[in-house]
Every structure is written in structure tokens, then in C-alpha cells.
Amino acid sequence: MTNIVGISACPAGLAHTPMAAKALEKAGEELGYHVKMEQQGSMGPVNVINQDEADTADFVLIASDQKITGMERFKNKKILRVDINVCIKAPKAVLKKCVSTVEGA
């Protein structure tokens, strides 16, 4: 099973951040991927990815154009950055494209 971790973040961190995280996690479940998304917003980090989860991930998906904190957890990991709005509108397509990109690398 493909194991994906990621972070969603938007300027305010109130609406798009959790919407993207939930959309990607739901799409992952439907596609047979394990997806865990950390949310970095105005309320602080939610659903934090620990070092073990980062280490066992096949790649890291960043759903944001914002500065992300804690990136050192993902040292030596393939990191894919996608616009947060695309993650909300087409989460399955985003995940499929990310997986195919990593598998083709």
C-alpha cells in the first residue's frame, strides 16, 4: 500500500487547510492509499506527523504555497508541492499524479 504523508496550509489556516487535508485523506482511502495530512493553520498544527510516520512514507505531499514548518522531518524524502485549491477540487487526480510521478522517478 502506498503510504503518503503531507501538510496542508493556507494563509488564514481556517477553511482551505482542513478542507484539503480531509479531501486528500478521503480520496486516499478510496484509492487504497494510506494518507495522513498534518494541518498547519492559525490554530497551530493539527494531526501532527511524527518522525516514524515521516520515515515510512513513500513521499511527502505539500498542499500549500505557504512556508511550512518542521520540514526537517522529511529529510531524504521525495517532496511534491501542489496548489491547495487543486487538492480540494480534484484530490484523487492529485494523488494519482503524485504516485505516478514518484513511481516513475
Please write the tens of the pLDDT for every residue from 34-82.
Answer: 999 999 988 789 999 999 999 999 999 999 989 999 999 999 999 999 9
Residue given cell 496550509 in the structure block = 9
In this prediction, residue 105 carries a pLDDT of 65
In terms of Cβ atoms closer than 10 Å to its own Cβ (0-12, 13-18, 19+), residue 50 is exposed
In this prediction, residue 80 carries a pLDDT of 97
**Architecture category of domain 3-103 in CATH:** 3-Layer(aba) Sandwich (3.40)
pTM of the predicted model over 0.85? yes
How far is 50 from 92, CA to CA, in rounded Å?
Answer: 24
Q: What residue spans define the domains of the chain? A: 3-103
Catalytic site residues? 10
Side-chain-side CA neighbours of residue 97 (13 Å): 12
How far is 41 from 19, CA to CA, in rounded Å?
Answer: 12
Residues 87, 26 contacting (CB under 8 angstroms): no
The phi, psi pair for 34, rounded to 5°, reads -95, 120
